[in-house]
Structure 1
Amino acid sequence: MNISGNTIFIPGATSGIGLALARALRAEGNTVIVGGRRTALLQEIAAADPAIHTVQIDTTDAESIRAAASEVIAAHPDLNAVITMAGVMRVEDWSQPSGFLATAEETIVTNVLGPIRLIGAFIEQLRSMPDATIVTVSSGLAFAPLRVTPSYNASKAAIHMLSESLRLQLEGSTVKVVELEPPSVQTDLMPGQRESDFAMPLEDFITEVMHLFETQPDATEIQVENVKFLRYGEARGDYDQVVATLNSRDPHGH
């Protein structure tokens, strides 16, 4: 993805990585539209930076996605990039007889169905542009599991394979598919994660991601150095050690 000159929609960007990335992309001269469920947060973002556009969207609701897509495309007919940032990460205990199923279902609806529906809502718009990008957001946990978040791990593995598959299907079109693979980052995705010594400082993560976007415009996967321990364990042959280390160090890693 080119670092500037784009019109980018980022649903799920009212906080954390999404909002920080939206601000960094706006600073590089892109038109940025932030999407989120909470009107109050959207108003705060617009007040802090009037150059950032906002739209209300609930990525767990198919009709909300369709309505938001129509609104965004009508207001920004030059839209050429979508970053499917919205996601949730919840602890589940499958060793107990009940209590995990609702959490697991919410995770899959948000993290898998949400991006699928978003891409479906915007794919024709993106295909109509001379240079377009879909940025999916997986995780280091797509490649090595954290014990306490089984559905999250599975959802991000699904996003990785979805990205790989869409890239094959869209080969030869004007649409690129780029997978952003965060490690654990100091955000509020999980309780205690913002204070975790294991998690990467948010500012450092965004700086490195922007550098990778700028210096590797043809990259299919955006991987900061901190995620490569998880990403390549199987290829290196130390997968078991990676899983053991991950699950011994930080119960809130991402």
Structure 2
Amino acid sequence: MQITGNTIFIAGATSGIGLALALALRAKGNEVIIGGRRTELLDQISAEHPGLHSYRIDTTDPENVATLAQQVIAEHPELNVLIPMAGIMRVEDWTDPESFLASAEQTITTNVLGPIRLIAAFTEHLQSRAEAAIVTVSSGLAFAPLQATPSYNASKAAIHMLSESIRLQLAGTSVQVLELEPPAVATDLLPGQRDSAIAMPLDEFISEVITLIESQPDAKEIQVENVKFLRYGEARGDYDQVVAAINLHDLAGA
């Protein structure tokens, strides 16, 4: 993926990594379109950043995704990059089924079905562009689990394998598939995560991501240094130690 000259749609970009990535990519000379569920927040972001296009989208609603995709493509026919960033993270107690089931179902619907619906809605158009990309967003927790968030871990492992699989299927097309694998980043994904001592500062994460995209346009996985401890534990042979280490403190701990 080239770092500039793209028209990019980022779903789930009203806060955190999504919004920060949208602004950084716009600063690199891309036309950027963001999506989110909260209309008032989209309006506020558009007012603060003129030229940043915004659309309301609910990735838990298949009909809304399909309709919105048609509108975005019609109004931005040069669109060539999709970043389906729909994601929630919930603490769950799987010793009590009544307490976790609703959370687990919502997490899988948002984190797995959301990106799948977006990819399904945009892939045909992306294949019509000379150079295109899908940038999925998994997590370091796809490779080593945080004990408190089973459904989130599973959803991001699913996104990793989905990325691996559709990359194979799209290999003969113009569509490149990249997988962004964040470590813990200082956002509000979990309560207290923004102030956690183990979370990477958001601006440092985004800066390193932009540098990696710019320097490695043919990369399959976008990995900042902080995520490699999680990503390669099994390959290094220290997986058990990695799991033990990341579960010593929760993300809200100082």
TM normalised by structure 2 equals 0.98
Alignment correspondent of 1:47: 47
Matched residue, 1:18: 18
Partner residue of 2:197? 197
The one-letter code of the counterpart of 1:7 is T
**Residues 134-182 of structure 1: per-residue CA shift (max 9 Å, x gap):** 0000000000000010000000000000000000001121000000000
CA-CA distance at 1:50 after TM superposition: 1.0
Measure, in 1, the Cα distance between the counterparts of 2:4 and 2:73.
Answer: 19
Q: Which residue of 2 aligns with 1:230?
A: 230
Aligned counterparts of 1:199 and 1:218: Cα–Cα separation in 2: 28
Other-structure match for 2:103: 103
Give the corresponding residue for 1:37.
37
The alpha carbon displacement at 1:223 in A equals 0.2
Given that 1:134 and 1:175 are in contact with CA atoms closer than 8 Å, whether structure 2 keeps it comes out as: yes
CA contact (8 A) 1:148 1:251 kept: no
Paired residue for 2:3? 3
Bigger drift between 116-125 and 93-102 goes to 93-102
Give me the whole-angstrom Cα distance separating, in 1, the residues matched to 2:248 and 2:98: 26
CA shift at 1:67, angstroms? 1.3
Equivalent in the alignment of 1:124: 124
RMSD: 0.9
Q: CA deviation at 1:97?
A: 3.9
Percent pairwise identity: 70
Aligned to 1:166: 166
Q: Which residue of structure 2 lines up, in the alignment, with residue 184 of structure 1?
A: 184
The CA deviation string for residues 89-133 of structure 1, in whole angstroms up to 9 with x for no partner, is 001101014110000000000000001110000000000000000
- 1:249 deviates by 2.5
Q: What code does the residue aligned with 1:246 have? A: I
Q: Name 2:239's counterpart in structure 1.
A: 239
Q: How does 1:145-164 map to 2 (within 5 A)?
A: 145-164=145-164
Mapped contact 2:190–2:251 kept (Cα < 8 A): no
CA contact (8 A) 2:81 2:134 kept: yes
- Kindly indicate whether the alpha-carbon contact (under 8 Å) linking 2:22 and 2:34 is maintained by their aligned counterparts in 1: yes
Give the corresponding residue for 1:217: 217
Segments of structure 2 that go 5 or more residues without pairing to the other structure are none
Query: 1:47-99, CA deviations, whole angstroms, 9 ceiling, x for partnerless residues?
Result: 01111000110011101101110110011001000001110000110101411
* AA at the equivalent of 1:133: A
**Contact (CA 8 Å) 1:60, 1:110: kept in 2 or not?**
yes
> Is residue 35–residue 56 contact of structure 1 (8 Å, CA) maintained in 2?
yes
**Contact 1:180–1:221, Cα closer than 8 Å, also in 2:** yes
Structure 1 residue identity aligned to 2:154:
A
Q: Which amino acid aligns with 1:8?
A: I
Partner SS state of residue 182, structure 2: coil
Q: CA deviation at 1:22?
A: 0.1
SS at match of 2:89: coil
Runs of 4+ in 1 over 3 A off after TM superposition: none
CA contact (8 A) 1:146 1:251 kept: no
Unaligned runs of at least 5 residues, structure 1: none
Q: Is the 8 A contact 1:7 1:32 kept in 2?
A: yes
